[in-house]
């Protein structure tokens, strides 16, 4: 991943304070979600929205998003579309994948609205330690 390039307008890259402002929101993860470092990830934040990318293979990345309630809906979709376009313009990735817990219907709708296609199902642990069914989504680099 390239971190030496400018983020999309109005965004920041790997800004711990901006990330924690989103993920520690009581309706996102609360204080249990607080991070001290981003590690091997690239996290793009815009007000109320964080999108995390982690390399999982040659030119393939896993992505996760967090959105505070006030930004959910059209505002989040608009911000994430800007981040997605920036990603494809600046990063060497050819494939994005993401897994959404089966019970997170708005997040699953968001993945579809962003252009991800449903790919399969897995069982994976959630932040609360409970294993839940997740729906996996994928998006290939636009041609």
Residue 111 sits in a domain whose CATH number is 3.40.630.30
Residue 40: inside a domain, yes or no?
Answer: yes
Residue 135: inside a domain, yes or no?
Answer: yes
Total domains in the fold of the chain: 1
Contact in structure between 19 and 43 (CB atoms under 8 Å): yes
pTM of the predicted structure, to 2 decimals: 0.89
The closest alpha carbon to 124, from 135, 115, 139, belongs to 135
Residue 7: inside a domain, yes or no?
Answer: no
Q: What DSSP assignment string belongs to 15-81?
A: -HHHHHHHHTSTTTTGGGG--S--TTEEEEEETTEEEEEEEEETTEEEEEEEE-GGGTTHHHHHHHH
The closest alpha carbon to 72, from 123, 119, 28, belongs to 28
Tell me the per-residue pLDDT of 112-138, one tens digit each, with 9 for 90 and over.
999 999 999 999 888 778 899 999 999
Give 94's contacts (C-beta < 8 A, 6+ positions apart): 59, 60, 140, 141
Residue 100: inside a domain, yes or no?
Answer: yes
Range of the domain at 20: 12-140
Tell me the per-residue pLDDT of 103-113, one tens digit each, with 9 for 90 and over.
888 888 889 99
Tell me the per-residue pLDDT of 12-63, one tens digit each, with 9 for 90 and over.
999 999 999 999 999 998 998 899 999 999 999 999 999 999 999 889 999 9
Helix 74-90 crosses helix 105-113 at what angle (to 10 degrees)? 50
């Amino acid at each position: 991943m390239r971190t030496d390039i400018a983020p999309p307008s109005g965004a920041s890259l790997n800004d711990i304070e901006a990330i924690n402002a989103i993920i520690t929101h009581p309706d996102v993860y609360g204080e249990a979600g607080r991070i001290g470092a981003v590690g091997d990830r690239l996290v793009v934040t815009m007000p109320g929205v964080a999108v995390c990318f982690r390399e999982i293979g040659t030119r393939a990345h896993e992505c996760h998003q967090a959105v505070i309630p006030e930004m959910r809906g059209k505002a989040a979709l608009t911000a994430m579309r800007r981040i997605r376009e920036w990603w494809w313009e600046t990063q060497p990735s050819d494939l994005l994948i993401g897994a959404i817990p089966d019970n997170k219907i708005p997040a699953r709708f968001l993945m579809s609205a962003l252009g991800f296609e449903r790919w399969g199902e897995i069982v994976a642990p959630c932040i609360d330690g409970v294993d839940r069914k997740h729906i996996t989504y994928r998006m290939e680099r636009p041609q």
